[in-house]
Amino acid sequence: MKTIVVFNQKGGVGKTSTVVNLMAELKLKGLNVLGIDLDAQANLTAFNQIVNPDKTIREVLIGACTMAEAIRACRYGDVLPSDTSLQNELMRFASMPAFVIRLRELLKTVNGKYDYVLIDCPPVVNQVTAAALVAADGVIVPAEAEYFSAVGIKMIADTVNQVKPLNEHIKVMGVLLVKYQPRRTLTRELERLLQGQIKALLNCELLKSHIRFTVDIPASQASGTSVRDFKQGSRAAADYADLANEILSKEI
């Protein structure tokens, strides 16, 4: 079982879209996948049409229920839901001894059941995202080809470096360009800038796969389906299929 954390403290950069569509692609390949919603915004939970769950990642993290009790079977694999109550527990988490290794320990209770665990992070750095990074084998960083993304790479590198003493084998698998618009000159310039920064700060590359900009992504989410199931010929469906192959080809 490999755990991949989809992380960027910047908001709206396609983290949840990537978890959703990667889950769908991996399922299509016959792999067993668990998606974990670590975000109090609960977008992964809502996408999977889980409404007012009584057992969520919050209950699991405070020890009120087991992982197995909170996990739901959904269309693109199993999902461990979240809800807004997660936000109210940050002080409690901060005072829990060894909280930061807790998720890694909990994942051992489902080891063997899944080929991949995909963790959808909130757009912040807090104890919960630190716990995700401590549990990670690999990290995917979705980012837009924007100037502010370049600034964010330094923060991501600092966060990853902070968890390294607790997780020596954490590997940033690469930065995934999303909402990609190859015809914009600015995109190509920023791609070069990002490439240099990523190599220097994260010791990885831009992933070869890019997720092109298309309204099919928001439209598919409104209909609760992967972009492939929403529109077979969508360019984003082809892009997420490429991403799944690229991820599977990488050692973590």
Ligand X SMILES: Nc1ncnc2c1ncn2[C@@H]1O[C@H](COP(=O)(O)OP(=O)(O)OP(=O)(O)O)[C@@H](O)[C@H]1O
Applying CB under 6 A, the residues found at the interface with ligand X are 11-17, 39, 41, 43, 123, 178-179, 211, 213-214, 217-218, 221, 236
Closest CA to 243 of 174, 194, 152, 185: 174
The interface partner of residue 17, options being Mg ion, ligand X, none and the CB cut-off 5 to 8 Å by kind, is: ligand X
How far apart are the C-alpha atoms of 217 and 230, rounded to whole Å?
9
Interface pick for Mg ion out of 4, 6, 15, 180 (rule CB under 5 A): 15
Of 109 and 245, nearer to ligand X (C-beta) is 245
CA 73: distance to chain centroid?
Answer: 19
Mark the segment that binds Mg ion (CB under 5 A) among 1-9, 37-45, 107-115, 205-213.
Answer: 37-45
Of 167 and 214, nearer to ligand X (C-beta) is 214
The interface partner of residue 178, options being ligand X, Mg ion, none and the CB cut-off 5 to 8 Å by kind, is: ligand X
* Number of residue whose CB is nearest Mg ion: 16
Of 17 and 167, nearer to ligand X (C-beta) is 17
In DSSP terms, which residues pair with 72 in a beta bridge?
Answer: 79
Of 139 and 201, nearer to Mg ion (C-beta) is 139
Mark the segment that binds Mg ion (CB under 5 A) among 16-24, 30-38, 59-67, 203-211.
Answer: 16-24
3-state helix, strand, coil split of the chain in percent (to 5) is 50, 20, 35
The answer to whether residues 146 and 13 touch, using CB atoms and an 8 Å cutoff, is no
Q: What is the DSSP string of 106-149?
A: HHGGGTTT-SEEEEE--SS-SHHHHHHHHH-SEEEEEE-SSHHH
Of 44 and 160, nearer to ligand X (C-beta) is 44
Residue 80 CB contacts under 8 Å (≥ 6 apart), including other chains: 34, 35, 36, 37, 56, 57, 60, 67, 70, 71, 72
The interface partner of residue 58, options being ligand X, Mg ion, none and the CB cut-off 5 to 8 Å by kind, is: none
